[in-house]
Structure formats: structure tokens, C-alpha cells
Amino acid sequence: MNRRTAAAIAACLVAAASMTLAGCSSGAVPDGPDIKISGAFMPQPVGDMASGFLTVTNSGGEGDKLTSVTSEIADEVTIHETKGQKMQHVTAFDVPANGELNLERGASHMMFMGLKRQLKAGDNVSVELHFEKSGQVEVELPVKEATYNPKHH
């Protein structure tokens, strides 16, 4: 082992010991958001509007935001929160660091307007979620019966 290698290893050990975000070996990317989607579904729609639900889990050390949703199935997809009995259009949902965003019945949801075809339970709808930092994440929403309502926890 030459002096340079020894010095590099020593520096690496110091960095590891001080728990810096930059790794010594691999890509050395900062610890950003780490997004996973689960429990996605769409209740079978009535008419040409539908809602959609899912959970976004962020196991990264940095928060993110769900800024928009798009899908070829609908003319327009918006994101809504429910305040009391009223739905309200929001521009973004926070996905906290080491936390989750729940879109669930009676609360925040996606809203699909101007459906381009009739959807029935058993169908699948592809949706693109757009995150401020994580970029575009594709997800399949299975269409469930109109009353379907899973419990997350």
C-alpha cells in the first residue's frame, strides 16, 4: 500500500465516522427523497369523473412534493383536499422526509375529469405522478368496485 492510498483510506474513515452524507465508495449522491407508491386504486367511476387514491412513502431524508398528476385516460387530473364537506383544489401535496402522503377516501385525492373511456372494476389505469424532486413516477391504478375502501393502518 502506498502513502496516497493510505491517506485516502484514512480520509474515508474520518468521513464515515462523522456520518457525512457523501459516501466514500459509491455514487456519493446526497440523501434525497426516496419515493415508493403503494395501495393505489380507483373506485369504479360513475359518469365521466373518477377519483384516485394511493399512499406515497418517502424513506429518504429529504421532503418532496407531489405537484401534478397526468393520465391518458382523462382530459384533466387535479389534486384535491377535502375540508369539511368541500373539495378544494391544491397546487401540491407535501411528502415529508421519512413520512408519507395518504390520498384516501374522505380526504385528499386525485380527481380525473373528462374520462376518455368507460372504466370497470378489473381495468387498470396508468397514471404519472410528478414530484418536485423525484421527477415522474408511473403507477398503475387498478379499478375497484365503487365502494372499495381499504384501511392503510
3-state secondary structure of 131: strand
Q: Which of 75, 76, 41, 68 is nearest to 55 (CA)?
A: 41
Contact between 80 and Cu ion by CB under 5 A: the answer reads yes
Please report how close the Cβ of residue 143 comes to Cu ion at its closest, in angstroms: 17
| Candidate ranges 22-30, 59-67, 86-94, 127-135; the one touching Cu ion (CB under 5 A) | 86-94
| CB nearer Cu ion, residue 111 or residue 139 | 111
Query: What gap in Å lies between CA 34 and CA 90, rounded to an integer?
Result: 23
Please report how close the Cβ of residue 105 comes to Cu ion at its closest, in angstroms: 11
| Candidate ranges 62-70, 73-81, 98-106, 136-144; the one touching Cu ion (CB under 5 A) | 73-81
Please report how close the Cβ of residue 55 comes to Cu ion at its closest, in angstroms: 18
Beta strand spans in 9-117 (E): 35-43, 49-58, 64-70, 74-83, 86-89, 93-95, 99-103, 109-115
Please report how close the Cβ of residue 109 comes to Cu ion at its closest, in angstroms: 6
Cα distance from N-terminal residue to C-terminal residue, the chain: 54
70 DSSP β-pair partners: 128
Quick one: cell of 98? 421519512
Member of 15, 24, 111, 139 binding Cu ion (CB under 5 A): 111
Query: What gap in Å lies between CA 115 and CA 132, rounded to an integer?
Result: 26
Contact between 139 and Cu ion by CB under 5 A: the answer reads no
Please report how close the Cβ of residue 82 comes to Cu ion at its closest, in angstroms: 7
Residues 26-65 that bind Cu ion (CB under 5 A): none
Which residues lie near Cu ion (CB under 5 A)?
80, 87, 111
